[in-house]
Structure 1
Amino acid sequence: MMFPNNLNSSNEDEAKRKYEETQREVEGHSRSDLSRYVVDLLIAGGLVVAALTVLMWILYL
């Protein structure tokens, strides 16, 4: 039995819309994860620099 073209087209449009929506969600999450990673690296780097500064300050007093 053949399906009408408009029904098939409607299903394809729905599938394409869901795919594009999923792609946008994945891209959004990957960007926010990357920015969180960068912020964490900056914080960790700052803490390391602060710890080394305090250590050198204590050693050279």
Structure 2
Amino acid sequence: MSAPVWITATPPTPNGDLHVGHIAGPYVAGDVLRRFLAADGVEVRYTTAWTTTRAMSRCAV
């Protein structure tokens, strides 16, 4: 048995008001890939994160 495939999504770094693009951008592509691989019988681990510091937003201000 082979090792599972790990997929990670970078946390969104919202600049300005939140909108669906802040969530959909980093997470949708990884989720689609995970579903495709799982349907093909591949063991997949999908991890995500969330930033609480908004570091990139603060640098832009």
Q: If the TM-score is normalised by the length of the shorter chain, which range does it land in?
A: 0.3 to 0.5
TM-score calculated relative to the size of structure 1: 0.32
TM-score calculated relative to the size of structure 2: 0.32
- Higher percent of residues as strand: 2
Rg larger in 1 or in 2?
A: 1
- Higher percent of residues as helix: 1
